[in-house]
Amino acid sequence: MLKKEKSPPEIAENAPVTVAALEAVFEGCYDFESRDLHIGGDPSNKARLCFLDGLVSGSDVAEQVIRPLTDPERFAGVRGSQAIARLLGGSVYVYTAKCRETLGDLASDLLNGFCALIFDAERRAVTFEVKSPQRRGVDAPKEEKVVKGAKDAFVETMKINTTLVRRKLRNPHLKIKEFPLGQRARTSATLVYIDGFTNPELVAEASRRLEKIEVEGALTSAVIEENIVDRHRSPFPQVISTERTDKFCMNLLEGRVGMLVDGLPLGFLVPGTFSQFMKVPEDHSGHFIVASALTLLRYLSVALTLLAPAFYVAVAMYHQEMIPTRLLQSMIEAHASVPFPTAVEVVLMLLAFELLQEAGIRLPSPIGETVSIIGALIVGQSAVEASVVSPVVVVVVALAGIAGYTMPNIDMGSALRLCRFLLVLAAIFLGMFGVAMGCALIVYHLSSLESFGVPYMSPFAGSEGRHQSRALLRKSMTVKRDREPELKTGDGGEAKL
């Protein structure tokens, strides 16, 4: 977080609106366009049109602003404040028109895709929203695969995102409050909640935390995530982030508060608890028994990804009595030609796995796929054949890796990967005792986390023993379910979700 700086001296936020002042603000900017317009076709009656090329739609400016403004029948003899009044009254065919009296607001409008008509004498300007249609279209989510559900994902444009949300929640009580973020970038962020339903204390706290953010610009998700969470040092995610609009809206309907940031194709939701990161919207698309089984599988995957390598290391190094006789015999035989001790093997394999993963993410698609295949072949097959590692280690590490990929949330998966390494180290130096103490510490850390006042391990902890099955199983849609009591929603009762 940056220290609060004073405004740059060259932009006086509250300075009066003049063409010269605006031109001074955007001096040197090649995309700043400025031209005089003759109102009503009268050369003696001028106003200055300014805009940032690229942010505005040229055709809209021409058709909707310039054409009616220069029409003698509409604006003949109309000057100054009268002209401003007519412009604001709808004589120009643009659905958003604002009157600006300060330089800061005027500059902000231009940066948000508005064009401005400046009346120097009046020290006022009228700005019209004529945003360029050049933006990424709504597409299917890339990071969160959709099997059976809506395939519209958030995009970088705030207005489109809010539109997508409004289309799903046609509720007049759905509030979208704007917050500017970033002293230099002036990114627009919004708080989304259902008034009268979402806990007002939660809304107030979320607003307060958003307002407290002091950064240069909100261009990455970490700006939001790390600044609004209770414990930013924890690697475990405490804010739900999603590309999917259906997931976003479902969580709003459960009583969470959402956030959208202009420029980020993500929606953020708070509070985020561990059980939430185990859920996917597909759970509500498929049969409830199948969905419940898959949820349980995910929890099993958490255990596998965390514990499989550590368990193997502890057992192979210190507790060989646990291995069945035949398996132990084949392990002894397989290990006979491997030069490295078990600990080194496992750590090497885990590192190799992480390297492969990172390479696969960074490289462009075609190359990335090839590298992944080659890496798998080299690491998997060749390493075993060259007796660099034993086959059991490859199986264990691969199993742990695949189990980690079943995590619906990538941040949760990353946190678990980190913990996996730590548990392996604990197993190397302390055996099963180390694994147990490591697990206890991880559980303690998770139990100590809170997300906006809600225990992170809810409903497994801090819920008075109630509603635990809700985290693991999904009831049929025909059965009324209680809302999460920790969210303290306005109706507070049963609801069909």
What gap in Å lies between CA 223 and CA 236, rounded to an integer?
Answer: 16
Best CA proximity match to 413, nearest among 428, 399, 402, 424: 402
The answer to whether residue 391 forms part of the interface with other proteins (CB under 8 A) is no
Ramachandran bin of 462, using left for φ above 0, alpha for ψ from -120 to 50, beta for the remaining angles = left
The answer to whether residue 493 forms part of the interface with other proteins (CB under 8 A) is no
Interacting positions 198-217 with other proteins (CB under 8 A) = 201, 205
**Alpha-carbon distance values, 189 to 24, 59, 216, 244, 264 (Å):** 28, 28, 14, 18, 10
Position among 19, 99, 363, 436 found at the interface with other proteins (CB under 8 A) = 436
| Interface region with other proteins, contact rule CB under 8 A, candidates 41-49, 128-136, 354-362, 451-459 | 451-459
The answer to whether residue 330 forms part of the interface with other proteins (CB under 8 A) is yes
Burial 312-348 (b: 16+ CB within 10 A, else e): bbbbbbbeeeebeeeeeeebeebbeebebebbebbbb
Interacting positions 456-485 with other proteins (CB under 8 A) = 457, 460-462, 464-465
| Interface region with other proteins, contact rule CB under 8 A, candidates 11-19, 141-149, 217-225, 455-463 | 455-463
Place of tokens 């989304």: 192
Residue 374 and residue 359 in contact, taking contact as beta carbons nearer than 8 Å: no
| Interface region with other proteins, contact rule CB under 8 A, candidates 5-13, 211-219, 239-247, 443-451 | 443-451
**Toward other proteins, which CB reaches closer, 98 or 470?**
470
Instruction: Tell me how far, at minimum, the Cβ of 219 lies from other proteins, in Å.
Output: 28
For the beta carbon of residue 125, count every other beta carbon within 10 angstroms: 29
The answer to whether residue 383 forms part of the interface with other proteins (CB under 8 A) is no
Instruction: Tell me how far, at minimum, the Cβ of 321 lies from other proteins, in Å.
Output: 3
Residue type, 110: L
Whether the bond into 271 is cis, omega within 30 of 0: yes
Instruction: Tell me how far, at minimum, the Cβ of 447 lies from other proteins, in Å.
Output: 4
Position among 73, 336, 478, 493 found at the interface with other proteins (CB under 8 A) = 336
The site string for other proteins over 216-245 (x = CB under 8 A, - otherwise) reads --------------x---------------
Instruction: Tell me how far, at minimum, the Cβ of 365 lies from other proteins, in Å.
Output: 40
| Interface region with other proteins, contact rule CB under 8 A, candidates 74-82, 120-128, 347-355, 424-432 | 424-432
Position among 162, 190, 295, 342 found at the interface with other proteins (CB under 8 A) = 342
Please provide the DSSP assignment of 139-208 as one string. Answer: ---SSS--SSS---B--S-HHHHHHHHHHH---TTEEEEEEEE-TTT-EEEEEEEETTTS-HHHHHHHHH
The answer to whether residue 432 forms part of the interface with other proteins (CB under 8 A) is yes
Instruction: Tell me how far, at minimum, the Cβ of 202 lies from other proteins, in Å.
Output: 8
Instruction: Tell me how far, at minimum, the Cβ of 430 lies from other proteins, in Å.
Output: 6
The answer to whether residue 452 forms part of the interface with other proteins (CB under 8 A) is yes
Position among 44, 325, 365, 478 found at the interface with other proteins (CB under 8 A) = 325
The answer to whether residue 443 forms part of the interface with other proteins (CB under 8 A) is yes
Query: In the chain, what's the furthest Cα-to-Cα distance?
Result: 101
**Toward other proteins, which CB reaches closer, 44 or 325?**
325
| Interface region with other proteins, contact rule CB under 8 A, candidates 59-67, 70-78, 219-227, 318-326 | 318-326
Instruction: Tell me how far, at minimum, the Cβ of 283 lies from other proteins, in Å.
Output: 22
What is residue 210's three-state secondary structure? helix
What gap in Å lies between CA 202 and CA 192, rounded to an integer?
Answer: 12
Best CA proximity match to 116, nearest among 30, 32, 181: 32
For the beta carbon of residue 78, count every other beta carbon within 10 angstroms: 19
Could you report how far apart the first and last alpha carbons of the chain are, in Å?
Answer: 38
Instruction: Tell me how far, at minimum, the Cβ of 285 lies from other proteins, in Å.
Output: 29
Instruction: Tell me how far, at minimum, the Cβ of 268 lies from other proteins, in Å.
Output: 17
**Toward other proteins, which CB reaches closer, 250 or 392?**
392
Own/partner long-range contacts of 404-408 (Cβ < 8 Å, ≥24 apart):
404/301, 404/305, 406/297, 406/298, 406/301, 407/277, 407/278, 407/298, 407/301, 407/302, 407/305, 408/144, 408/277, 408/278, 408/279, 408/280, 408/298
Task: Give the DSSP H/E element, type plus range, for residue 34.
Answer: strand 32-38
Position among 222, 289, 322, 418 found at the interface with other proteins (CB under 8 A) = 322
Instruction: Tell me how far, at minimum, the Cβ of 62 lies from other proteins, in Å.
Output: 52
Q: Where does this chain bind other proteins (CB under 8 A)?
A: 201, 205, 230, 314-325, 328-336, 338, 341-342, 425-426, 429-437, 439-441, 443-444, 446-448, 450, 452-455, 457, 460-462, 464-465
